[in-house]
Structure 1
Amino acid sequence: MRIKPIFFFGIVGAIVGSAVQLSSIDCPKSPLLEQGCAVWKAPGAIASGSTTGFVYGTIAVLGFGLLRRKYGSQEEFDWRILTWSSIGVLGLFTLYPPTITATQNVASRAARKVKTTILRGKVSQDVVRQAIGHAEGNFTLSGERTQLYYGHNDPGNGKRNFGYCSNQSRTETVKGADRSCDRYINQYKARAEKELIAAGIGLEEPDAYINTLDLANQAHPRTFVRFPHKLAEAKQKGLKDIDAITWARVQSFGKDGVEATGLIGICRREKRPVSDAECVAQDQQRRAKAIQRVLEHQAKR
């Protein structure tokens, strides 16, 4: 048997194997870390994939060559054997662990994309604005602007707020405030959707999605990331509806809301007769109920 065909198919197998290994590299999703991780792992992935791929390629062509020698001329060759041999080789390659990993990654990304599309279709940007605006006290239930919408000082940090989301001085006046709110909240949508799906929250629960975004607007970004998982935990405890959402929102601020220092500070300054945990729970329940009212109102339209 000639060496050139063996070498050629070995190289083809090495290229395919390297590609599969590179596609299965698992790195953190931070842009800087992801690039560094990929560069660090790429040489090993190429070496492993090309070696295994070369072996698969040479075995395949050797097997085909032996079959051809056994059956003599092309007229006498049983092409069914070649067909089933090809299927067998492909089958072995699909059992190659990096191939399995790469296939699973592609399937997972596709499923996540479909779920995200469905979720976004259920909750329009108008509903997000209305729900968060009502939770902030800047919209009435029917969507009319309250006096707070046009400007008020934040009771927690004193910043000047404008627009439906109370935009924390991202604009100097109410002009352009809603656009600034949209930009701020939209940057967190992809992460919110990812965490909801990872936590196993059903796509039939738009209230979970909006509460996640509301926390992204109200608190430090680490808070909203925790919420879907705390909501799943609440449901495992047997909590339902507003009780589950309220408990999950509170626990998203750390155990019993300990990280909600702005809310706790307000209650202490106003000398409210509640504990710190009760202070946080009251505010989070109020916001959760406001969001629920908007969703119920939208469903009736």
Structure 2
Amino acid sequence: MQDHSDHQPSPAAEPNGASVDTFVEHRRLLFGTAYNLLGSVADAEDILQEAWLKWDSVDHGSVAHPKAYLVRTVTNLALNRLTSARAKRETYIGPWLPEPLVTAPNAAEETEMADTVSTAMLVVLETLSPTERAVFVLREVFGFSHADIGGFLDRPEATVRQIARRARSHVQARRPRFDADDAARSEITEKFIAACHGGDLNALMALLAPDVTLWNDGGGIVTAARRPLYGPDHVARWLLGVMAKPTSADVRLEPAVVNGEASIVGVVGDYRIGALTYDIHEGRIENIRFQVNPEKLGGIQETGDPTS
């Protein structure tokens, strides 16, 4: 898999070794910050490029705290892009979902990347204002102090505390329910894959919660459901219908760890054509998010698109 968190600075800047080393030291944190703020792997990579250019051109002797400077730079670049991205989503075709990111099975043992939030949480974060999202991510995900965040955003510490409290309350009210441990989640994932491959409607319906909802993001580029699907019967029949299409003959469903959770990817050859993430509550699957927009799949590839 391409490690998006290990994005390298421009080769043109290599002569400045200290500058490169400092940036590389913090790049996982910087990528995680940008990704959690934007929900986009591609945009996060662009932000890192922009941040590198700013860092490489600054007088490093005047920067007392490089880590704080870099996080501040990435945060503000991401906030600018988030504002423009939300305007574009008003004309987005069909449901909008964040870009999935395949993470290592032992992601919990990594440092900053262990804090990459679930796809479900990224959807919840979309309901916050850009400033609320920045404060929540920096405080709740990466553990920065209110004073530090105030410095990043040019806001008084007291104001940041108020924003943090409001954002936390908002997220808690909308946080998806889930109660499955890793072993249970993996078992349900395996049964889901078997039911889809076997075309077993009853087995698939038995895995779905009574209030299951499926969102499918094709971005108007590939065929996808343009409205949410509701209920076990509707969702199961739609999923099996997709699997039964001639164009799906070569598709394999495989387990993968996406945004730190056991999930499913659709694979043709060596190329991953979609990611399916979901919540599990009381032993059943609910809130299914099916990402198939080819422009949003860079974060789940292992070898890249063979046609590129």
TM-score relative to the length of structure 1:
0.25
Bigger relative CO (Cα 8 Å, ≥ 6 apart)? 2
Higher strand share: 2
Q: Please report the TM-score for the alignment, with normalisation by the length of structure 2.
A: 0.24
| Higher relative helix content | 1
- Rg (Cα) greater in structure: 1
